[in-house]
Amino acid sequence: MKIMINGINAGLRFSSAHIIPAHASCGFIHGHSYFVDVEIEGNRSGDYDFVVDFKDVKNSVRSICKKLDHRVLIPINNKNMKFKGINHFEELDSDEKEESKDYQDEDLDKSTDSEDYKDSDKSADSDKSMDSNKSSNSDELSVLDFCNKDYVEFIIKNKEYKFPMEDCVLLPLKHSSAEELSQYFANIIFEDLKEKGHEIDSVSVCVNEGIGQGAFCKKE
């Protein structure tokens, strides 16, 4: 059996700013009033023969919405975003820092694609990647890499951004698109409900970027 919750009617919403780096129209910082629809499949069980209590599902969704609401969404594994102060500049001595500034300027002039940057970065800093509890894929940054930072600074081609950390939420994603956000929600809600002992088969989430368009992901 399946239960469904309509996000716009149930108040499962968040409003956030984001950028889709290098995209022709979405590459400019802008915002959406998102709402989140959820479907849960599973067997009916317990004292009330519920699939899962609506309240438990809504609490799970709301906790994620609350984390994202009124924040800038930063997908830390986007290949077009070059983060300053993360695994490249900080551990170099001052001479090397000067060199790396030159490198950075040159990089900007050339608008070098970030694959090149990440490759050189990886070889220069492989030790740190082992120290910071990263996943086995060392191309990927971890939220832990941004610990104790007051600002998030990054470059996308020739544009430089600096946001107070408290205005942002760092997401371990490649994009802050509706597609990736729906997957992010589905994974967290699925694990959360399982942890709370619910015997569910799947969680499907549609993250809507306003009325009329959204991305749907099913986790089972």
Where on the chain is the footprint of Zn ion (CB under 5 A)?
26
Name the residue nearer to Zn ion (CB basis): 26 or 108: 26
Radius of gyration from C-alpha coordinates of the chain: 20
Choice between 5 and 26, CB closer to Zn ion? 26
What is the nearest approach in angstroms of Zn ion to the Cβ of residue 119? Answer: 29
Q: Which of 129, 130, 138, 218 is nearest to 182 (CA)?
A: 218
State the minimum distance, in angstroms, from the CB of residue 153 to Zn ion. 21
Pick between residue 26 and residue 215 the one whose CB is nearest to Zn ion: 26
CA distance 203 to 55: 15
Helices (H), the chain: 7-10, 54-68, 94-110, 114-124, 126-131, 178-195
Among 174, 137, 177, 163, smallest CA distance to 85 is for 163
Question: Active-site residue numbers?
Answer: 26, 70, 209
Nearer to Zn ion, 31 or 46 (CB): 31
For tokens 């060199």, name the residue.
99
Contacts of 118 (CB under 8 A, 6+ apart): 79, 139
User: Closest approach of Cβ 65 to Zn ion, in Å?
Assistant: 17
* Cα–Cα distance, 208 to 182 (Å, whole number): 9
Q: How far is CA 146 from the centre of its chain?
A: 14
Q: Which residue is nearest to Zn ion (CB)?
A: 26
Closest approach, Cβ 54 to Zn ion, in A, equals 29
In the complex with Zn ion, which residue's Cβ is closer, 42 or 214? 214
The CA–CA distances, whole Å, from 80 to 116, 117, 151, 158 equal 11, 10, 19, 11
The minimum distance between CB 207 and Zn ion, in angstroms, equals 11
